[in-house]
Structure 1
């Protein structure tokens, strides 16, 4: 039987203590989560939130944001008219055109 020396024991205890550390939660980016709506309304609101965040962070310029906003407004109109599937397709097409899929 091998005897554990105090130095080896302390190293093991430190390693175990490091495993029990908890990471802090990341800061909120302001993007809405999946609870921000369902169906086409949820798709529209989530993508608007992503685009607003990207504009605020400087990932897209104002002209791209304006173009996307016009396209999403059309999808929002289709959604309000009860054409859910069409609205979701429109959002997905806009995402694909601008590299968000």
Structure 2
């Protein structure tokens, strides 16, 4: 069974470099690109698959600064994979004074 790896902010910069490195080290994994821009993510997905044809690469749309988007993506990932073996939280967010961090973590880690 392939390891399932999710990288946020995977469509450019450090996130993209990390994705390339992960696939160079182990192309027998399923890499999930978690990005805001679906079009950009799909283009990156195609380029990675061209370079690493043995890999499995997919995308999920998520804006980490939007709690509803995070919950929707988490639900989608749970349905698709039932598990994540590794998660690289690379995407940055701006602090939001109205964000209830306790509620966020409670929602993310409850079953």
Higher percent of residues as helix: 1
Higher relative contact order (CA 8 A, sep 6+): 2
TM-score where L is the length of structure 1:
0.28
TM-score by length of structure 2 reads 0.26
Higher gyration radius (CA): 1
